[in-house]
Amino acid sequence: MKWVLAVYRLVLALYPRPFRARFGEEMEGVFLAGLEEAQRRGNLSGFLLGEALRLPGSLADVYIWAMRSPGSRQMALPGGGEVSGGPGDGWGSSLMGGLPHLVIGLMVVASSLLTEWLAVDANWLNLILSGAFFLLALGVLVYNIRKGWKRWSASWLIYLLMLTLILLSYGVSVLTKADQGNWLYVIQTMTFPLVVAYLLYKMACADRVRGLLAAVPITGLMWFFFQEFVPLLPRMLATGWMFLVVFTAAVLILRTRRFAAALGLAILVPVLSGLPFATLGVYMGGTLPFSEPGPSPLEVLRQYLPFLAATAAVTLGPQMAAALRAVGQESEKAGGKIFYRLALGGMLLGLIVSLLQFGKVSSGQFAWLPRLVSLPWPGLALAMGIYVVGIGLLTRAAIRCNVFEDRWSDLRMAALGGLLPGIPLVLLNLFPVLNGHTLQSWVILALELAWVGASAWTVGKEQT
Amino acid sequence: MPGINSFLPLQEPTFFILLSLRGGEKHGYAILKEVAALSEERVKLSTGTLYGALNRLLDQGLIERWEDRDETRGKKTYRLTRRGLEVFDAEVGRMQQMLAASQQLPGSIDQAGGGLRI
């Protein structure tokens, strides 16, 4: 029976390391006891078959629980200024959090320059490079599953998700016929941002710092919109700078002990990386609408600021939603869990309305949708109505459960409730810029900046 | 800490594990055997499914584990926590309420007679 036990030890190696450390020895003992009894009863094959058949389910159960369990989260809880109740991550872990940005940045810049200067086939090069990164990220994923979820894994997971979505849509576009291309666009427009938003929200719920880490590359990549028609060299300089900023921010976010500092770094990423893109787009690209007077620093600002607010919404939105969820969970006894979901459901509808509006204006799709949902203002009014009902009920539940400890807690809850609807509004305001329409007034831009400042203050205060 | 109701309804293996520990502290293999016996061999846990469930129950604070009093054996023993007991009792109450509700309807199984009550 020694060989059976040896095989079982190999099987045990399939479980995550923390699980093996906790139960490995015991499991071996229980398996041996079961084996001996089965042998006595002459039911050895039945016993081994039962163990083998139940193995995949057991592995899935343990891995899913490991991903969700508090032990793997290192969550930053309200009441402590430090992000993990101790010093920030070490340099090694912090660099691992920055590494994917450096690798992707090098890949993007190198492939663009090689394609242009050495006439290398762009399709093949991109396929090889993205395939190589995909495998690398998969390796990181497996490592984290086996060793327990490290905080730096968030930087890799977000790229893995984006690459998966891109490869899936590439595969679908190859398989579908030309007349179905529009449907693919509809699906992409609606699903990509929502899937990414959901992932950012879930990461922020598990660990606020992970939520920031995952949002950071997206707030950098969004500026690629400005690079159309910009000559290669300045475009690659701006791209390289953007990835360098994202890399530095990710490392410092992991190193810092204070959540407010990590949040500040995350918001600094679009501030620093976006300005070169906006400038290049206005002066060298074709992003300035024809209705505007012509390239100037003021016109750069009018392009830059709505994008800045939208990228800040990507960072702040999931954090605010996670804060609302925390209030809902603390007031569970008075129905808080239902009410926070109702409020976030209103927010989700607001996001969907914003995306539909973008899809409609940019492609002429979505004409088949009911006007209430597809027109921006009726749809937003419905979304806000649901949100207001949800937030009202949640506040009442929180008061009943004494969630708010002092006047500052009340103020933060009021700020949170008032600022969350800014997310779909800020995104909706971005779409005239994306669609090349007239730019917005300075009053709206000032309001958007005020929203970013107030939201950052609320999120920062809520975590300290 | 999540409320008691957030654990309900319990999965069948979880229910039988808690039931076996309701009778007193046990080590892993004893739980495995008792779950099979209590469920009349309907729920058969493998070593992996047993420890996956114990891992979850420990994290949820429904059971606790410590070294066996007989140190020479070096076995770990499991027992219900107060919270685990509350969850188990709440599940039993929920099932009793369901059973009572089902018996009030016309055409339901008559517990006393074993026949249909029309």
In SS3 terms, A275-301 reads as HHHHHHHHHCCCCCCCCCCCCCHHHHH
User: How would you label A333-345 residue by residue, b for 16+ Cβ within 10 Å and e otherwise?
Assistant: ebbbbebbbbbbe
Query: Is the model's pLDDT at A82 over the cut of 60?
Result: no
Q: Is B76 on the interface with A (CB under 8 A)?
A: yes
Classify residue A102: in a domain, yes or no.
yes
- Per-residue pLDDT at A371: 57
Weakest-pLDDT range from A68-72, A161-165, B23-27: A68-72
Q: In Å, what is the CA distance from A365 to each residue of A185, A351, A360, A362? A: 9, 17, 5, 8
Clarify whether residues A94 and A25 are in a common domain.
no
Q: Which one has a higher pLDDT value, A426 or A181? A: A426
* Burial category of B22 from C-beta neighbours within 10 Å (exposed 0-12, middle 13-18, buried 19 and up): middle
Weakest-pLDDT range from A59-68, A324-333, A445-454, B83-92: A59-68
Q: In Å, what is the CA distance from A142 to each residue of A67, A88, B70, B111? A: 12, 24, 39, 53
Classify residue A199: in a domain, yes or no.
no
Q: Is A338 on the interface with B (CB under 8 A)?
A: no
Q: Which one has a higher pLDDT value, A88 or A104? A: A104
Mean pLDDT of A57-67: 82
Query: Residue A136, Cβ neighbours under 10 Å: how many?
Result: 16
Task: Give the pLDDT band (50/70/90) at residue A319.
Answer: very high
Classify residue A385: in a domain, yes or no.
yes
Classify residue A98: in a domain, yes or no.
yes
**CA–CA gap between residue A59 and residue B75 (Å, rounded):** 23
Taking the alpha carbons at both ends of chain A, their separation in whole angstroms is: 58
Clarify whether residues A109 and A42 are in a common domain.
no
Q: In Å, what is the CA distance from A427 to each residue of A310, A357, B112? A: 6, 10, 65
Mean pLDDT of A418-423: 88
- Decide the pairing of beta strands B116-117 and B108-109: antiparallel
Clarify whether residues A397 and A279 are in a common domain.
no
Binary contact (A59, B2; C-beta < 8 A): no
Mean pLDDT of A160-185: 72
List Cβ neighbours of B53 (8 Å cut-off, separation of 6 or more): A61, B13, B14, B17, B45
Q: pLDDT digits over A219-254, tens only?
A: 998 888 888 788 889 999 999 999 999 999 999 999
Classify residue A311: in a domain, yes or no.
yes
Which residues in chain B have Cβ-Cβ distances shorter than 8 Å to A334? none
Q: Is B47 on the interface with A (CB under 8 A)?
A: yes
SS3 A370: coil
Domain count within chain A: 3
Q: Is B41 on the interface with A (CB under 8 A)?
A: no
For tokens 């969004």, what's the residue?
A222
Which residues in chain A have Cβ-Cβ distances shorter than 8 Å to B49? 54, 57-58, 61
The residue among A286, A317, A340 that closes a domain is A286
Clarify whether residues A229 and A161 are in a common domain.
yes
Query: Is the model's pLDDT at B1 over the cut of 80?
Result: no
Q: CA angle at residue A87 from A84 to A93, to 5 degrees?
A: 85
**pTM for the model:** 0.63
SS3 A314: helix
Clarify whether residues A272 and A300 are in a common domain.
no
Classify residue A36: in a domain, yes or no.
yes
Clarify whether residues A432 and A308 are in a common domain.
yes
Residue A169 token pair:
């849509």
Q: Is A68 on the interface with B (CB under 8 A)?
A: no
- Per-residue pLDDT at B94: 92
**CA–CA gap between residue A215 and residue A268 (Å, rounded):** 12
Which residues in chain A have Cβ-Cβ distances shorter than 8 Å to B53? 61
Clarify whether residues A456 and A330 are in a common domain.
yes
Residue A123 token pair:
């399709």
Taken in order of first residue, the domains within chain B and their CATH numbers are: 7-108 (1.10.10.10)
- Per-residue pLDDT at A78: 31
**CA–CA gap between residue A253 and residue A263 (Å, rounded):** 8
Binary contact (B49, A23; C-beta < 8 A): no
Which residues in chain A have Cβ-Cβ distances shorter than 8 Å to B28? 26-27, 29-30
Clarify whether residues A128 and A156 are in a common domain.
yes
> Given B29, B44, B59, which is nearest A30 (Cβ)?
B29
Classify residue A256: in a domain, yes or no.
yes
Task: Give the pLDDT band (50/70/90) at residue A386.
Answer: very high
Contact A79, A326 (CB under 8 A): no
The residue among A286, A302, A326 that closes a domain is A286
Classify residue A454: in a domain, yes or no.
yes
The residue among A251, A286, A321 that closes a domain is A286
Clarify whether residues A151 and A162 are in a common domain.
yes
Clarify whether residues A254 and A131 are in a common domain.
yes
**CA–CA gap between residue A432 and residue A358 (Å, rounded):** 9
Clarify whether residues A302 and A371 are in a common domain.
yes
- Could you list the beta-strand ranges (E) of A78-171: none
Clarify whether residues A43 and A141 are in a common domain.
no
Query: Is the model's pLDDT at A281 over the cut of 80?
Result: yes
> Given A15, A33, A333, which is nearest B29 (Cβ)?
A33
Binary contact (A22, B47; C-beta < 8 A): no
Report, in this order, helix, strand and coil percent for chain A, each rounded to 5.
80, 0, 20
Average per-residue pLDDT for chain A: 82
Residue A385 token pair:
């109505």
**Which domain does A151 fall in, by range?**
89-175+207-286
Q: Is A43 on the interface with B (CB under 8 A)?
A: no
